[in-house]
Amino acid sequence: MRRVIFEPEHEQFRSHVRRFFEKEVAPHGERWRQQGFVDREIYRKAGDQGLLLTWADEKYGGAGVADFRFSQIIIEENISHGEIGFYINLHSNLVAPYIDALGTDEQKMRWLPDCVRGDKILAVAMTEPMAGSDLAGMKTRAEDRGSYWLLNGSKTYISNGQIADLIVVAARTDPSSRHGIGLFVVEAGMEGFARGKRLKKMGLSAQDTSELFFSDVQVPKANLLGTPTEGFRYLTRFLASERLVAAVGSMAAAQTAFDITLDFVKERRAFGKPIGAFQNTRFVLADLRAQLDAVQSFIDQCVLLHNANELMGDDAAKCKLLASELEGKVVDACVQLHGGAGYMEEYRISRLFTDARVTRIFAGTSEIMKEIIGRGLGLDERKLG
């Protein structure tokens, strides 16, 4: 189905972006998956092409384009024609906005130009070994020592943890409050900051995920983002956009799985005819095609709402829930249609299957998304008694 939210300039941009990912990213995917992380140079190449922080003000080196559709195109094309383990979306659309929205003029001038160029790579550290995504149960703490903050604790499952230069770390600043959290920018090389082992995962092999450790790290006062006790509110403030980014990625992966499977069933033969000639194949793909078009339309509508600063938290939760659940359904069905080949890692559908499993977990599990949507309906046990 033709998507109606894009203008001619978006389609021109998509062609430019696709060429970049096909030429500079896709050929390195296998090597990156083997080594467990992408080359730092790819961030610089993306920066040279103006693909990082496209929304950033021109004074920081960005294009100053606030239209999220350009970011949407970059995410879609990276997944479809690049390498999903290149976490350009985390760098540009999840972490950098914290610095832009919460940072002082001095902080933004100090960090954003390097992020736009790809000279500095970003990560965010919230999850902890014993607390998971429960921010209220956070143990990492930062103590005000007058001229600096003393940071102690550990984080786990941190994307870009091995290669990041700037890490936005959430830490408890007020022991008397479950929500008294601050956000601190820890820079690579700070004394007391250490990276643990690169964690082995089910999928996303080219995307490095790590443990991080902070032992008496002296974080300068100039590296605090916003107010030291408002971190919990800051983190929840960005959740809607984070979930929209996740939905866009899930949808792109699902579309890609469908496309390669459609090509596969036209060529692969069984009992003397193409697999696609069997009624079951037609029915399975027809059902998936209808669902893909419906969910894509909803996500595109939410992108427009996001552009207008009107995207509500429950709508973002719907996006994330529908897209990630559909992604799981699509990749599973497409592996089945590939038969034995679908279980072989050399076939892309196998990697799409394992890569997809985490999307129903990160940025809020499907169960949490349902809770948010249900509360938006007024079905909150605290209010219903």
* Active centre residues (catalytic): 242
Cβ burial, residue 320 (10 Å; 0-12/13-18/19+): buried
Rounded Cα–Cα distance for residues 249 and 255 (Å): 10
Q: Which two tokens stand for residue 177?
A: 């409050």
Q: How far apart are the first and last CA of the chain?
A: 45
Alpha helices (runs of H) in 169-312, residue ranges in sequence order: 231-237, 239-267, 279-307
Place of tokens 């004074």: 59
Asked if 70 and 27 count as a contact pair (C-beta separation under 8 A), the reply is no
In 3-state terms, what secondary structure has residue 335?
A: helix
In 3-state terms, what secondary structure has residue 264?
A: helix
| Residue 255 backbone class (left: φ over 0; alpha: ψ -120 to 50; beta: rest) | alpha
Q: What is the bridge-based pairing of β-strands 181-187 and 166-172?
A: antiparallel
Rounded Cα–Cα distance for residues 79 and 103 (Å): 30
Task: For residue 168, list its beta bridge partners.
Answer: 124, 185
In 3-state terms, what secondary structure has residue 239?
A: helix
Cβ burial, residue 325 (10 Å; 0-12/13-18/19+): middle
